[in-house]
Structure 1
Amino acid sequence: MIPFEQVNDDYCDCADGSDEPGTSACPRGRFYCTNLGFRPHYIPSSRVNDGICDCCDASDEYNSHARCQNTCWNLGQKERAYVEGQMKTLDEGLRLKQQLIEEGVLLWREKQAQLRELQQAAEDLQIKLEERRWRKNEANRLKEQAFKAQQEARDRALRHQNNTITSLFQLLDSNKDGSISVNEVKAKVVLVHDEQQLLSEDEAMALLGGNHQIDLTKFQYTLWDILTRGDSVKIKDVHDVPDGLVSEGPHVKAADRAAEWEASSLKKVEEAYETVNMEISDLQKKLAVDYGTDWEFLFLNGQCYKLKVYEYVYTLCPFNQVTQKSTSGTEVSLGIWGMWAGPPKNQYNQMVYENGEPCWQGGSRSTTVTLTCGTETALRSVKEPSKCQYIMDFQTPVACQPVLKQRGVHSEL
C-alpha cells in the first residue's frame, strides 16, 4: 500500500513496478495500451515517452515530442475485415462439410450394400462353380467312356480286318504258295464297271504295286487298299469288301464337344468368381480405412490433386500415395498412405505418407500433409524443409472445425 500521489511520480516504489505504469521508472513495469477500436495490449514501461509510438492510440507518448497519430480504427477495420472473411470462410466451409458428411454417409451405405451384393454374388458363383466342376468331371468321364468303347470297336474291327485280309489273300492265292501273282490277279480280279473285260498284264502288275507277285504284307498296302475303295476293281463273285478301320463315331464327337463346352463354361465361371473376389477384397480394403467419425473424408478416396511448383508437378491421392513428376517425365514416389497423425484433439488434422522411393542419402521419402479449412478442396503448397522429407498444405471443407468460431473476435473490435 502506497499513497496515491506516489503513483506515476517517476519513482519506483513497488517491486513489481505496478505504481509506475505511465513512466519508465520501474525496469519491470508495464504500460497498458487501451487502443480503443483495435486490440489492447501491454508494452514495457521503458517504452513510454521514448519518442517512438508503440500504442496505436498514441497513449504511450503523452508527454514526448513525438507526433503520433491514432491508427487504432484503421488497424481495427482491417482486422475486422480479415476476421469477417475468415468467419465467412469458416461458415461456408462448415456448410460444405455438412453436405460432404451427408454424402459420405450415403456413400458408405452404398459401399456396404455393394459389398453385400458382391458377397452374395460370390456365394452364388461358388455354388455354380461346384456344379460346373461336377458337370465337367462327368463330361470327361463320359468322353473317356465313349473313347474306350470306340477303341474297343477299333480293336475288334482291326482283328476282323486282319482276318478278312488273310481270307481274301488266301482266296486270290490259288496255288497256295503264299504269294499272289499277276496271273492269279488276272484270273480273280475284274473291273467294277465291266466284269467281262479281262485285265491286261500291265494292269495286273499295277494292282500289285509294280511287282510280278506279292506276299501278305505287301498285299495290305497295294491291292487291298484298292479293293477296299471299290471304285475301280473288285474280286469276281465277292461283294462287300469291308472298309478300313472304324472312324471316330458320332457319339465320341458329341462327348468330346460336350466336354469342351463344359470346360469352357467352367473357365468362365472361375474367371467371374475370381473377379468378384478381387472386387470384394478391394472394397474391403477401402472400407477398412478411417474416413473420419462421420465418413466425411470418404469422398477423397479415388481422387487426386495436383500442384506445379517450379519444374515439378506434385500429385496427392488421399489414402493412396504422393508422387513428384519432373519436366523430363520421371516420377518419384514420395510416400504411400500410412495413417492419421494429428494431435489427440484433432487427429484428422494431418496425414502421413511413408515408405516412398529411397533417398540418395539413405532412408525413404515421406510426406506429411496438413489439412486446413477452406471452401474448396485443393493442394495449396508443397515444401521440402529437409532432404526427402516433404510437407504439404491441403485445403478442404472437411477440415473446418466448429471450435474455431469460439476464438472469435474481441468485443472491442
Structure 2
Amino acid sequence: MRFHIITAAFLWAAFVESRKIRGISSSYKRFYRERKSFLCIDGSKIIPFEQVNDDYCDCADGSDEPGTSACPRGRFYCTNLGFRPHYIPSSRVNDGICDCCDASDEYNSHARCQNTCWNLGQKERAYVEGQMKTLDEGLRLKQQLIEEGVLLWREKQAQLRELQRAAEDLQIKLEEHRKRKHEADRLKEQTLKALKAGDRDVRPESSSCGFRHQNSTVSHLFQLLDSNKDGSISLDEVKAKVVLVHDETRVLSEDEALTLLGGGHQMDLSKFQNTLWDVLTRGDGYKIKDAHSAPGGLMSEDPHLKAADRAAEWEAADLKKVEEAYETVNMEISDLQKKLEIDYGTDWEYLFLNGQCYKLKVYEYMYTLCPFNTVSQKSTAGTEVSLGLWGMWAGPAKNRYSQMVYENGEPCWQGGSRTTSVTLTCGTETGLRSVKEPSKCQYIMDFETPVACQPVLKQRGVHSEL
C-alpha cells in the first residue's frame, strides 16, 4: 500500500512539472493561472489553456508560448536565482546553447548546462560593493572639493575687487601723469621757442641776461661757420659747414648756398642773426656739419633746454610705467572676469579644474585636456593639433554636468573642424581614462573625477534578486 502511495505521488509531481509554465516572470504569472481558456496578453485571441506551451504559436504576440521556441516574437524569462534575471528570444530555447545561467532555457535539450548563477552573482556583488566603496569615497572627496571650490570662488571674487580698486587708483594716477607730461612738453616747447626767438624770459634773469644768452648762442654758431675768423661767413664756408639734415654726405650746390646767404656771397654777424640763424634753429632741413645736436646746433647745449628736456623724458618714462601697469591690471581683470563667468557647477565644485591639464598617451599620440580651455593631440614627431576649445556643458537635463563639449578645433582634411566630447565619470582620482575617435576628427574622452559622483547612484544598490 505504501509503495502505491509513493508511486502515485511521483506520477502527480511529474504531471505537475509537465504542466509548469516556463519562461514567465512572477509579475506575469497571473495571466497563466490554469483555467479552461487563455486570453492572449495583447487581447487578440482566446484559446484553450491546453494550447499554452504546446510548441505551436497561436497568439500574435507569442504570449501562449513563453517556454518554447514556437513563436518568432516570443520571449523566454530566465529567473537566474542568485544573479540578474533577464529575457532571451524564445528562438534560443532548447537550442543546445546555455543562455540562462540557471540552465532553465535548456530544459529539454541535449545540452548539459551548469547552474552558474551563484558564482556570477558573487562576482557582481563584489563588483557592486567595490562600486559602492568608490562612490562613498568619491562623494567624500567631492564634498571636500565643493568646500574648496566655494573658498576659491570667494578668493577669486575678492581678487577681482582688489584688481578693480587698483585699476581705479591707476586711472587717477594716469590722468595726473598725463597732465604732468603735457605740462613738461609745453614747457620744453616754450623754452625751445624762446631760444629760437631770443625771448628775454627764457630764464629768470634780467632782460640784459636774456640778450646775453641769445647773443652768446648766435655768436657760437657764427664762429663755427666763420672758419677763417675774418668776421664774415662766405659762400665756401657755408658749402663746407652746412649740410642737409637727412643727407649729410651731399655737398650743397652754389645756388643752395647763395639762398642760405640771402642772395649775397657773404654775411656778417648781424645779418646772420636775422637770416641763417633762424634757418639753422627752426629745423628747416639744414644743420651745421658734425654738430652733436639736432637742428639748432649748439642751442641744445642750453642748460634750461636740457633741464626741460630731461623733465619731459622723466615724465614720459613715468607715464609709460603707469600706462603699462594700468594695461596689465585691466588684462588681469578681463581674464579673471572670463573665468568667473564660466559655469563651474551648482556649488562651484568644478572650479578646481580650471588652470589644470591632464594627459594620456594612446599609441603614438599624447592627448591633453585642459578643462574649460582646450583639448589637443600631439604626435611623437612633435606636431600638435587642436581638438577643440571649451564650448559648453552638454549632459542630459538630470545630470547636465556629466558631459563637456569642445568645439572649433583645427580644420579636418575632409572639411569641418575637430570637436571633442568629454564624458565625466565618478572616481576617487581625477584624470583622463580613455580617448577614442569613433569617426574622423570627432573625439570622445572619458574623464574621471570625484566631483562627477552623484548620490542618486547609491539608491540603485544591489539588485534584490542577487
Q: TM-score, normalised by structure 1?
A: 0.72
Shift of 1:251: 4.6
| Structure 1 residue runs without a partner (length 5+) | 165-177, 180-214, 219-244
**Structure 2 counterpart of 1:325:** 378
CA gap 1:161/1:283 in 2 versus in 1, 3 angstroms: closer
CA gap 1:156/1:349 in 2 versus in 1, 3 angstroms: same
Distance (Å, rounded) in 2 between the aligned partners of 1:127 and 1:156: 43
> Does the 8 Å CA contact 1:8/1:23 hold for their aligned counterparts?
no
**Structure 2 counterpart of 1:358:** 411
**Structure 1 counterpart of 2:16:** none
Distance (Å, rounded) in 2 between the aligned partners of 1:21 and 1:163: 122
Is residue 343 of structure 2 the alignment partner of residue 290 of structure 1? yes
Shift of 1:307: 1.3
> Does the 8 Å CA contact 2:217/2:299 hold for their aligned counterparts?
no
| Structure 2 residue runs without a partner (length 5+) | 1-33, 38-48, 201-208, 220-229, 232-265, 270-297
Structure 1 stretch displaced more, 137-146 or 78-87: 137-146
CA gap 1:17/1:137 in 2 versus in 1, 3 angstroms: closer
**SS of 1:306's equivalent?**
strand
> Does the 8 Å CA contact 2:358/2:431 hold for their aligned counterparts?
yes
Q: Give 2:334's match in structure 1, choosing from 281, 290, 304.
A: 281
CA gap 1:148/1:37 in 2 versus in 1, 3 angstroms: same
Distance (Å, rounded) in 1 between the aligned partners of 2:309 and 2:100: 100
**Structure 1 counterpart of 2:127:** 82
Is residue 173 of structure 2 the alignment partner of residue 140 of structure 1? no
**Structure 2 counterpart of 1:157:** 212
**Structure 2 counterpart of 1:199:** none
> Does the 8 Å CA contact 2:393/2:405 hold for their aligned counterparts?
yes
Distance (Å, rounded) in 2 between the aligned partners of 1:123 and 1:99: 36
CA gap 1:29/1:274 in 2 versus in 1, 3 angstroms: closer
Q: Give 2:364's match in structure 1, choosing from 292, 311, 327.
A: 311
RMSD: 3.5
Matches for 1:27-46 after TM superposition, within 5 Å: 30-44=75-89
Matches for 1:133-282 after TM superposition, within 5 Å: 133-148=178-193, 151-153=198-200, 156-157=211-212, 250-282=303-335
Distance (Å, rounded) in 2 between the aligned partners of 1:114 and 1:30: 64
Distance (Å, rounded) in 1 between the aligned partners of 2:335 and 2:218: 69
Query: What do residues 344-387 of structure 1 show as CA deviations (whole Å, max 9, x unaligned)?
Result: 22222221111111221211222121212211111111222222
Shift of 1:247: 8.9
> Does the 8 Å CA contact 2:139/2:454 hold for their aligned counterparts?
yes
Query: What do residues 266-310 of structure 1 show as CA deviations (whole Å, max 9, x unaligned)?
Result: 111111111100110111111111111111111111111111111
Query: What do residues 206-239 of structure 1 show as CA deviations (whole Å, max 9, x unaligned)?
Result: xxxxxxxxx9959xxxxxxxxxxxxxxxxxxxxx
Shift of 1:78: 0.7
Query: What do residues 296-348 of structure 1 show as CA deviations (whole Å, max 9, x unaligned)?
Result: 11111111111111111111111111111111111111111111222222222
Q: Give 2:452's match in structure 1, choosing from 388, 391, 399.
A: 399
> Does the 8 Å CA contact 1:372/1:394 hold for their aligned counterparts?
yes
> Does the 8 Å CA contact 2:74/2:89 hold for their aligned counterparts?
yes
CA gap 1:251/1:71 in 2 versus in 1, 3 angstroms: same
Query: What do residues 244-275 of structure 1 show as CA deviations (whole Å, max 9, x unaligned)?
Result: x9995655444433332222211111111111
Distance (Å, rounded) in 1 between the aligned partners of 2:116 and 2:267: 131
Q: Letter of the aligned partner of 1:152 in structure 2?
A: D
**Structure 1 counterpart of 2:289:** none
> Does the 8 Å CA contact 1:157/1:246 hold for their aligned counterparts?
no
Distance (Å, rounded) in 1 between the aligned partners of 2:165 and 2:365: 46
**Structure 2 counterpart of 1:242:** none
Query: What do residues 110-168 of structure 1 show as CA deviations (whole Å, max 9, x unaligned)?
Result: 1111000000000011111111112222233333444455542587237867999xxxx
Q: Give 1:10's match in structure 2, choosing from 54, 63, 66.
A: 54
CA gap 1:248/1:44 in 2 versus in 1, 3 angstroms: closer
Name the larger-Rg structure.
1
Distance (Å, rounded) in 2 between the aligned partners of 1:250 and 1:260: 15
Identity between Structure 1 and Structure 2 (%): 82
Distance (Å, rounded) in 2 between the aligned partners of 1:67 and 1:163: 124
> Does the 8 Å CA contact 1:56/1:69 hold for their aligned counterparts?
yes
Kindly tell me the number of residue pairs found equivalent between the two proteins.
Answer: 340
Is residue 176 of structure 2 the alignment partner of residue 121 of structure 1? no
Q: Give 1:108's match in structure 2, choosing from 153, 157, 161.
A: 153
**Structure 2 counterpart of 1:69:** 114
> Does the 8 Å CA contact 1:6/1:19 hold for their aligned counterparts?
no
Structure 1 stretch displaced more, 263-272 or 245-254: 245-254
Shift of 1:57: 2.2
Structure 1 stretch displaced more, 388-397 or 45-54: 45-54
Greater relative contact order structure (CA < 8 Å, 6+ sep): 1
Q: Letter of the aligned partner of 2:211 in structure 1?
A: R
Distance (Å, rounded) in 1 between the aligned partners of 2:414 and 2:322: 51
CA gap 1:22/1:248 in 2 versus in 1, 3 angstroms: closer
**Structure 2 counterpart of 1:229:** none
> Does the 8 Å CA contact 1:10/1:24 hold for their aligned counterparts?
no
**SS of 2:199's equivalent?**
helix
CA gap 1:50/1:261 in 2 versus in 1, 3 angstroms: closer
Shift of 1:51: 4.2
Distance (Å, rounded) in 1 between the aligned partners of 2:267 and 2:452: 99
